[in-house]
């Protein structure tokens, strides 16, 4: 297993839990040493215990020596970052560098597996870089959700394997023996495109939900009731229909842009993909305009206005800030001159990477000091149980913009606060 990020560490630890002997290689010696001690720095439920159990069983080890890790391997997984590069294309520098590094030390007959999210044609590219007729290259995309990665690995919806060599495909499939999931055996290009298509569809569904929330506000409808009504149709489904401050994270932004760039390069017009990305940006700007107007601004400026933000990570249950929609909204507020104070249960005050954007505090009540408004950006359940009366007493204003529809409007009203959800014109009535 080359790379010990979310995908590599989860895949390695879970494969070890299935009884395989796994060696994880990483270029960061500090991370390797911590992992040898079962010290997992990723906030991911069940992952520390899975790593510890695999280490104790002698089925998992960590090394900084990539060549040594692959020297006796039957299967080598590439779990490397593929960030957004120039023009939106996926940056394959890490994948290509590792392929060059391991080319001459791969054992005869081993299988190299692309686990990273990569553009169509990458399996062929890696095979060409390896230039080893005795080594097969297979695509096996991951479908792990942050906050549920271990569960998703052990209880997958499907296992997709793309290979030109069917024996290699079967060898990779056998690694997942015992997991109850449909197996999709296909060619490498189809497997690679499946991952991009899945993430694009999820992004599209979220953009649809956010746009629909705007429609609900205009017509006096309730987004929760509307999405429940359509989500019960099995052709639509209820997942990814909750509106919020936009979509983001480590996958959807880079993968949608990478797919759009690939389509452009191939001469394929895909207006739905372009609209999905643009809708996300437009939605975030609209939310910021709403906050700006509620703060009494008549010229669009928030200069000198203090705003409290609750939640900065891209989703609850993780400390990941990569392409967080919360940070996107925060930047738009900051561009208008707002002074931002933020609280997030997963983040501590020692975050110099955020210091130019927000003042991060550990106390949710202190975050509200002098705030004209509070803005809820991440769906942390513990935010429901904050002392909103104490928060109200510290605020200069009374507005709470709940961009996750997370809070109890009646409770906030009793605290003297004006709750404003998304896709709702008022606190909804509920029938038991």
Q: What is the pLDDT of residue 427?
A: 54
Dihedral pair phi/psi, residue 111, rounded to 5°: -115, 130
CB crowding 128-165: b at 16 or more within 10 Å, else e: ebbebeebbbbbbbbbbebbebbebbbebeebbbbbee
d(CA 327, CA 248): 10
pLDDT tens by residue, 270-300: 999 999 999 999 999 999 999 999 999 999 9
Q: What is the pLDDT of residue 348?
A: 87
65, 55 Cβ separation under 8 angstroms: no
Residue range 316-324: average pLDDT?
95
pTM summary value: 0.94
Helix (H) or strand (E) holding 207: helix 188-219
Residues 6+ apart with CB under 8 A from 393: none
Residue range 171-196: average pLDDT?
97
Sign of CA dihedral 296, 299, 303, 307: positive
In the predicted structure, residue 350 carries a pLDDT above the cut 90: no
Structure token digits, residue 176: 């997942």
In the predicted structure, residue 429 carries a pLDDT above the cut 70: no
Give the mean pLDDT of the chain. Answer: 96
d(CA 394, CA 373): 11
d(CA 152, CA 346): 22
In the predicted structure, residue 17 carries a pLDDT above the cut 90: yes
Catalytic residues, which ones? 251
Residue range 48-63: average pLDDT?
98
Structure token digits, residue 126: 């890696």
């Amino acid at each position: 297993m080359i790379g010990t990020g979310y995908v590599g560490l989860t895949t390695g630890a879970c494969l070890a839990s299935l009884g395989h002997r796994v060696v994880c290689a990483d270029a960061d010696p500090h991370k390797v040493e911590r992992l040898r001690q079962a010290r997992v720095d990723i906030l991911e439920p069940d992952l520390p215990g899975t790593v510890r159990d695999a280490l104790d069983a002698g089925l998992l080890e960590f090394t900084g020596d990539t060549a040594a890790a692959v020297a006796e391997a039957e299967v080598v997984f590439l779990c490397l970052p593929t960030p957004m590069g120039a023009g939106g294309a996926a940056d394959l520098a890490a994948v290509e560098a590792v392929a060059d590094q391991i080319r001459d030390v791969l054992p005869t007959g081993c299988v190299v597996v692309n686990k990273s999210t990569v553009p169509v044609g990458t399996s062929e590219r890696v095979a060409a870089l390896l230039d080893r007729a005795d080594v097969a290259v297979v695509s096996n995309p991951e479908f792990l959700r942050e906050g549920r990665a271990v569960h998703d690995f052990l209880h997958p919806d499907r296992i997709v394997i793309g290979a030109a060599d069917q024996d290699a495909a079967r060898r990779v499939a056998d690694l997942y023996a015992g997991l109850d999931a449909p197996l999709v055996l296909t060619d490498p290009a189809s497997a690679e495109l499946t991952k991009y298509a899945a993430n694009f569809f999820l992004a599209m569904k979220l953009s649809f939900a956010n746009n629909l929330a705007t429609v609900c506000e205009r017509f006096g409808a309730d987004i929760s009731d509307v999405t429940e009504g359509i989500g019960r149709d099995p052709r639509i489904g209820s997942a990814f229909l909750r509106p919020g401050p936009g979509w983001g994270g480590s996958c959807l932004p880079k993968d949608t842009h990478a797919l759009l760039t690939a389509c452009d390069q191939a001469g394929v017009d895909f207006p739905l993909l372009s609209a999905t990305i643009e809708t996300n940006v437009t939605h975030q700007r609209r939310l910021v305009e709403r906050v700006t107007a509620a703060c009494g601004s008549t010229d669009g400026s928030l200069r000198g206005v203090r705003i409290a933000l609750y939640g900065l990570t891209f989703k609850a249950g993780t400390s990941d800030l990569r392409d967080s929609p919360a940070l996107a909204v925060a930047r738009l507020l900051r561009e208008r001159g707002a002074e931002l104070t933020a609280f997030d249960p997963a983040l501590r005050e020692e975050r110099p990477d955020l210091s130019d954007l927000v003042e991060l505090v550990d106390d949710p009540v202190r975050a509200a000091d002098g705030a004209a408004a509070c803005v809820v950006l991440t769906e942390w359940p513990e935010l429901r149980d904050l002392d909103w009366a104490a928060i109200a007493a510290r605020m200069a204003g009374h507005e709470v913009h709940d961009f996750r529809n997370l809070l109890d409007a009646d409770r906030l009203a009793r605290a003297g606060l004006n709750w404003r959800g998304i896709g709702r014109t008022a606190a909804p009535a509920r029938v038991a």
